[in-house]
Amino acid sequence: MKILVTGGAGFIGSNFVRYLSEKYPDYELSVVDALTYAGDRGRLADIEDKISFHEGDIADYDTMEKLTQGVDVVAHFAAESHVDRSIADPGPFLRSNIIGTDVTARAALKNKVGRFHHVSTDEVFGTLEIGSPEKFNEKTPYNPRSPYAAAKASSDHIVRAYGETYGLPFTITNCSNNYGPYDSPGRVMPVFITNALEDKPLPIYGKGQAVRDYLYVHDHCVAIDLAIHKGVVGETYCVGGAAQRNGIQVAETILEALGKPKSLIEFVADRPGHDMRYDIDPSYIKEKLGWQQSVSFEEGIAKTVDWYKTHENWWKPYKERLDLMRESGLYNTKAGAAK
C-alpha cells in the first residue's frame, strides 16, 4: 500500500509516519511538507531511509497532482494550526487549511485515490461551559470561534462536500489537544516543559481556568490508523483523551514531574475570544472501530517529560529558531495554556 502523508514533518504527522513505518514496514510512505515554522525535517531524520520526502506546498495543484499519482491513501495532516498566529494573521490559515485541502482533495479525485483521510480538530465545535456535563461528538453543530477553527471547519465541509458531489472516498477524525514527542516548542506542553527545564516562567493565559482534553499522540495515531483501514467511507470519528485539565493543572503536573517549584507559574494577558472548555466523547470510535485509549494523562506527561529531557539536541535549536522568528515578526504569538 502507498500512503501519502501531508504535513508529515509536523508534530502529529511525523508521529503518524513513524507509527506507520513501524507497524507496516512493507508500506510505501511518502511525505509532503512545506517546512514552515511548524515543520521540521529533523523529526524524520532517523527514518528518512524508509520514506520518500518531498518539500512542497499543498496549495499548489501541479505538486499535489504529481504526488497523488499511484497513491492508495492520502492522510491529510497539513494545516496552519496555532490559534494565536491565526488571530494575528488569518491569511495563511485560509490559504493552507481551505485552499490546500481543496487542492489536495481535487488531486486525489483526479488520481482515484482509494481513501482520503482528513485530520481535524475539536475546535470546530466551539466552546463548552466549565462544569457542564456536555461533550462534543459526531453530531455536535459547528461553531468555530477563531480564524484557525473557522479554517478547519471550512476544510471539513469541503471534504464532505467533495464526498457528496464528486464521490471522494473520505473519512474524518476530530481530535482533542495532542501532546507527546516532537511537539513544537511553540505549543503549550513543550513551552511548559522546556521553560521548566531552563527555570523560566510557565506562561498561563488569564486565570488559568480554560480546560482542554488532552490526548497522547500515539493513541491518536492508532485512531487514525483504524479510521483509514476499518472506517466507513463518509464517516466522522471523534477522538478524545479523557483527560480534562485546566492550564494550572497542566503546569503543576509538569513542574511536579520535573521537581520544579510552582513559583515558576506566571499568568499573562488572556487570548481574545478564548474558548473556555473542550471535551470530546470518543464513544463512537470505540464502539465502531474498537479504539481504546492506552496512555493516561499522568503516564503521558511522564513519557513526554522524559523525551524532552533526553532530546535537547532537537528542541533547543527549534526553540531558538522560533525565538528569532518572533523577534523578526515572522511568528506572531505568545505561548499560553491552550491550543
Task: Count the Cβ atoms, other than its own, within 10 Å of residue 167.
Answer: 11
Please report which confidence band the pLDDT of residue 38 belongs to, taking 50, 70 and 90 as the band edges. confident
Tell me which residue has cell 514531574: 257
SS3 assignment, position 55: strand
Position 329 scores a pLDDT of: 60
Residue 123 known to be catalytic: yes
Catalogue the E-assigned strands of the chain. Answer: 2-6, 28-33, 51-55, 73-76, 115-121, 170-175, 177-179, 202-205, 211-216, 236-239, 244-246, 265-268
Buried b (16+ CB within 10 A) or exposed e, 31-61: bbbbebbbbbeebbeebeebbebeebbbbbb
Please report which confidence band the pLDDT of residue 218 belongs to, taking 50, 70 and 90 as the band edges. very high
Dihedral of alpha carbons 152, 156, 159, 161, sign: negative
Strands of the sheet containing 177-179, edge to edge, are 177-179, 211-216, 244-246
Per DSSP bridges, beta strands 73-76 and 177-179 are unpaired
Separation between Cα atoms, residue 103 and residue 28, nearest integer Å = 22
Residue 148 known to be catalytic: yes
The answer, yes or no, to whether residue 334 has pLDDT greater than 50, is no
Please report which confidence band the pLDDT of residue 324 belongs to, taking 50, 70 and 90 as the band edges. confident
Report percent pLDDT > 70 for the chain: 96
Dihedral of alpha carbons 137, 141, 147, 152, sign: positive
The answer, yes or no, to whether residue 335 has pLDDT greater than 60, is no
> Which of 40, 102, 123, 219 is the catalytic position?
123
Listed residue (44, 26, 46) closest to 35, CA to CA: 44
- Contact criterion met (CB below 8 Å) for 1 and 24: yes
The answer, yes or no, to whether residue 68 has pLDDT greater than 70, is yes
Please report which confidence band the pLDDT of residue 333 belongs to, taking 50, 70 and 90 as the band edges. very low
> Which of 57, 80, 84, 122 is the catalytic position?
122
Per DSSP bridges, beta strands 265-268 and 202-205 are parallel
User: Residue 242: what residue type?
Assistant: A
Radius of gyration of the chain (CA): 19
Q: Which phi-psi region, left, alpha or beta, contains residue 262 (left: φ > 0; alpha: ψ -120 to 50)? A: alpha
Position 271 scores a pLDDT of: 79
Residues 138-185 pLDDT 10s: 999 999 999 999 999 999 999 999 999 999 999 999 999 999 999 998
Position 328 scores a pLDDT of: 65
Residues 265-317 pLDDT 10s: 999 998 787 889 999 999 999 999 999 999 999 999 999 999 999 999 999 99
Position 272 scores a pLDDT of: 83
> Which of 37, 57, 102, 148 is the catalytic position?
148
Q: What is the DSSP string of 135-148?
A: -B-TTPPP---SHH
**Across 56-76, average pLDDT:** 98
Please report which confidence band the pLDDT of residue 73 belongs to, taking 50, 70 and 90 as the band edges. very high
Rounded to the nearest 5 degrees, what angle is found at the Cα of 157, between the Cα atoms of 151 and 159? 105
**Across 208-226, average pLDDT:** 97
Residues 99-141 pLDDT 10s: 999 999 999 999 999 999 999 999 999 999 999 999 999 999 9
Residue 37 known to be catalytic: no
Ordered domains of the chain (ranges, CATH):
2-182+213-244+277-297 (3.40.50.720)
The answer, yes or no, to whether residue 202 has pLDDT greater than 60, is yes
- Contact criterion met (CB below 8 Å) for 58 and 106: no
Listed residue (311, 329, 222, 338) closest to 40, CA to CA: 311
The answer, yes or no, to whether residue 210 has pLDDT greater than 50, is yes
